[in-house]
Structure 1
Amino acid sequence: MKQILTIEKVLNNNVVIAHHDTFKEVVLIGKGIGFDRKKGDDISFDKADKTFLLKDEKEKEQYVNLLPHIEENLITFIQELLLYIEEQMDKDLNEHIHVALTDHLAFAISRAKKDMQFSNPFLYEIEALYPKEYQVAKGVVKKVEERMELVFPEGEIGFIALHIHSAVTDKSLRDINRYNLLITKLVGIIEDNLSIQLEKDDVDYHRLIQHLHRAIDRAHKGNPIEKESKLEELLKKEYPVCYNLAWKLIKVMQNQLNKPVDEAEVLYLTIHLQRLINKS
C-alpha cells in the first residue's frame, strides 16, 4: 500500500520536506523527487521509488542545514552511492548515514581537490574487523574518483567503511571509534608484554583483532560464552605468559568499557596470543 504525503517545501530537485501522518514533518530524498513539484502537491512514498525518508528530528535539521553548502549534482551522486551501499550490503541503512556520509564525502572531495593528504591509523584494523564494509567502501571510493576525476588517499576507504558499518548496525560512530581505540590499546599492550611487533597483514593478526572485537561486543551486550574448566587448567599450565597477559587484557577491557567481561574470554585470548608467539 502506497503512503501518500503532502509536500510542504521543495528544497531542490532531489529533496523535499513533506507532511507524514505518523512522523509529522519528514525529509524525502530521491533522484528527481522535487522536480516540477510545489507546495501542497501529493507525493507517494514507497520503496519502489528508491526514496529515503529522514524522520529523526535532529538528523532532519542537520541535513537541511547541510544542503545549501553542497552542489545539487553532488547530492544526486551521493544518493546513487547510498543506493549502491544498500544494494551491496543487502541491508537497510540507518537514516543517520545521509547526514554523516553526505557531510564526510563533501569535505573529503574538497580536501582531495586541494591535494590535502592524511593517513588513517586504523586502516588495517578496520579492514580486519569489517571486511565486507571495507570492500563496499573501496567500490564507493572508485566511483567517486571516476566521477569527480580526483584521487582519494587510501585512508578514506577506512573512514567510509566505518560510516557503512555504523549505518547497517545502528551503532554510533562514537561507539565504533571508542572500540577501535580500545583494540589499538590492547594490541599495544600485547606488543609491549610479548616484546614482538605484530604484522598487520598477517592472518593471525586479523584473527586476534576480530576476536577482541567480538569479546568487546559480547561484553557490551552481556552475552557470556561457555566456560571450559579443563581447558583453562591446561592453558594456565602450558602457556602461563599468555594466560596472564590475557587476564591483563580482560581487566583493561573491563575498565575501559565499564562493564564485566566474561572470564571465559581468557581461554580464547590465550590461544590467540600463543599463536602469535609461535609465529614470532
Structure 2
Amino acid sequence: MIIKKIFNNNAIVAEGSDRHEFVVMGCGIAFKKSVGEKIDEKLIEKTFVLKGKDASEKFKLLLEDVPTEYVSICYDIIEYAKNVLDAKLNDYIYVTLTDHVSNCFKMIESGISTHNPLIWEIKKFYPKEFKVGMKAIEFIHDELGKNLPEDEAANIALHLINAQINNSLNKAPDAAKQAKMIQDILNIVKYTYNIVLDEKSISYERFVTHLRFFFHRLDKVELSDTSDEDFLLKQVREKYKKAYECMLKVQNYLGKELSDEEKLYLTVHIQRVSKKN
C-alpha cells in the first residue's frame, strides 16, 4: 500500500496492490512522507472506501478544505448510524454530512443561526434517525467541544434519511416513478387552485421534500392515529377547506386511505404552497 496523494499529516489517498484508491486517516500517517512511499499500516485509524466515482472524487476535494477532525467525527457518526439504524447508506453521505457539518461550524462562528422547518416532521416520522442526530450532537460536543442546537440533530437526521432513500432508489425505474408521482401531485395542486407554483419558494421546497419522505413511508406499516391528531385534522379541515379537498384528490390519485397524520401534514403543506402564490 503506497501513498498516492497527501492532504495533510493525518489524511492521504492510498493505492492498494490491486491499484484501487481509497482515503485513509491516522495520526501522523503522512508525517515526513512523500508520494510513492509505503504506508505504515499500523497508523491507519479510518478507511474510506467509496464505490461511486463521483462520491469518491468529491470526497477527496472536500478533504482539501475541511479540517481532518471534522471528517473524522462525521465518519464516527455515520458508522454509529449504520449500526443503530441497521441500514445501508448511500456513499454520498460521507460527502453531504461532512460538508454540512463543516458549513454549520462556519455559520456558528459567524454568529448565524438557522432553523430546520421540518424538525417536527422528522421527530414524528423518523424518531430513530432523530435520536442518532441527537447522539451525533453529543459526539461533536465531546470530541470537538462545540455545542449544536436541536435543529442540527434534525439536519443530521435529514442527511441520514436521504442517504437511505437514495440508496433504496438506486434503480432508475423507481426514481423515475417517484419523480412522476411528485409531478402529478404538484399538478393536482396547480389545477385545483388554478395557479402557477413558485418553484423557488421555501414552501415549494418543503412540500417536495415532504413528498419524497411520504413515498418512502407509503408502503410501510401505517402509523396509528391518536385523538390529538384526529382533533388537529378536524381543525385543519375546517380552517383550510380547499386544501383539505385538494388533499382528498391526492389520496384518490394514490388509491390508498391515508392515516390522519399523513392527511394532516399533506393538507398543511398544500395550504402553505398555495397561499404563497
Q: Do they superpose with TM above 0.5? A: yes
Structure 2 residue 79 is matched with structure 1 residue 83: yes
Q: 1:118 to 1:96 in 2, by over 3 A?
A: same
Q: 1:81 to 1:217 in 2, by over 3 A?
A: closer
Do the aligned residues in 1 keep the contact of 2:3 with 2:12 (CA within 8 Å)?
Answer: no
User: Using the alignment, how far apart are the partners of 2:52 and 2:40 within structure 1?
Assistant: 20
SS at match of 1:9: strand
User: Using the alignment, how far apart are the partners of 1:272 and 1:76 within structure 2?
Assistant: 38
Match of 2:53 in 1: 57
User: Using the alignment, how far apart are the partners of 2:142 and 2:126 within structure 1?
Assistant: 24
SS at match of 2:49: strand
SS at match of 2:90: coil
Once the two structures are superposed, the pairs formed by residues 221-260 of structure 1 within 5 Å of their partners are 248-249=246-247, 251-252=249-250
Offset of 1:85 from its aligned partner?
A: 2.5
Once the two structures are superposed, the pairs formed by residues 172-211 of structure 1 within 5 Å of their partners are none
Match of residue 145, structure 1, among 127, 141, 148: 141
User: Using the alignment, how far apart are the partners of 2:53 and 2:262 within structure 1?
Assistant: 45
One-letter amino acid matched to 2:71: I
Do the aligned residues in 2 keep the contact of 1:97 with 1:167 (CA within 8 Å)?
Answer: yes
One-letter amino acid matched to 2:246: K
User: Using the alignment, how far apart are the partners of 1:40 and 1:92 within structure 2?
Assistant: 34
Match of 1:126 in 2: 122
User: Using the alignment, how far apart are the partners of 2:98 and 2:6 within structure 1?
Assistant: 19
% identity of equivalent residues: 22
Do the aligned residues in 2 keep the contact of 1:16 with 1:27 (CA within 8 Å)?
Answer: yes
Match of 1:209 in 2: none
Q: What do you get for the CA RMSD once the two structures are aligned?
A: 4.6
One-letter amino acid matched to 2:48: F
SS at match of 2:55: helix
Do the aligned residues in 2 keep the contact of 1:16 with 1:29 (CA within 8 Å)?
Answer: yes
One-letter amino acid matched to 2:51: K
Do the aligned residues in 2 keep the contact of 1:27 with 1:55 (CA within 8 Å)?
Answer: no
Offset of 1:215 from its aligned partner?
A: 5.9
User: Using the alignment, how far apart are the partners of 1:95 and 1:75 within structure 2?
Assistant: 14
Do the aligned residues in 2 keep the contact of 1:11 with 1:34 (CA within 8 Å)?
Answer: no
Match of residue 41, structure 1, among 29, 32, 38: 38
Offset of 1:273 from its aligned partner?
A: 6.0
Offset of 1:116 from its aligned partner?
A: 1.4
Do the aligned residues in 2 keep the contact of 1:15 with 1:33 (CA within 8 Å)?
Answer: no
User: Using the alignment, how far apart are the partners of 2:261 and 2:76 within structure 1?
Assistant: 44
Do the aligned residues in 2 keep the contact of 1:7 with 1:18 (CA within 8 Å)?
Answer: yes
User: Using the alignment, how far apart are the partners of 1:114 and 1:91 within structure 2?
Assistant: 35
SS at match of 1:104: helix
Structure 2 residue 21 is matched with structure 1 residue 26: yes
Match of residue 16, structure 1, among 7, 13, 16: 13
**1:218-270 Cα deviation digits (max 9, x unpaired):** 77xxx699xxxxxxxxxxxxxxx89x98773253478xxxxx62x2x13x447
Segments of 5+ residues of structure 1 without an aligned counterpart are 190-211, 226-240, 255-259, 275-280
Match of 2:216 in 1: 217
Aligned residues: 210
Match of 1:72 in 2: 68
Offset of 1:104 from its aligned partner?
A: 0.5
Q: 1:272 to 1:120 in 2, by over 3 A?
A: closer
Do the aligned residues in 1 keep the contact of 2:129 with 2:161 (CA within 8 Å)?
Answer: yes
Offset of 1:62 from its aligned partner?
A: 1.3
**1:170-200 Cα deviation digits (max 9, x unpaired):** 268x989x98xx8xxx9xx9xxxxxxxxxxx
Match of 1:98 in 2: 94
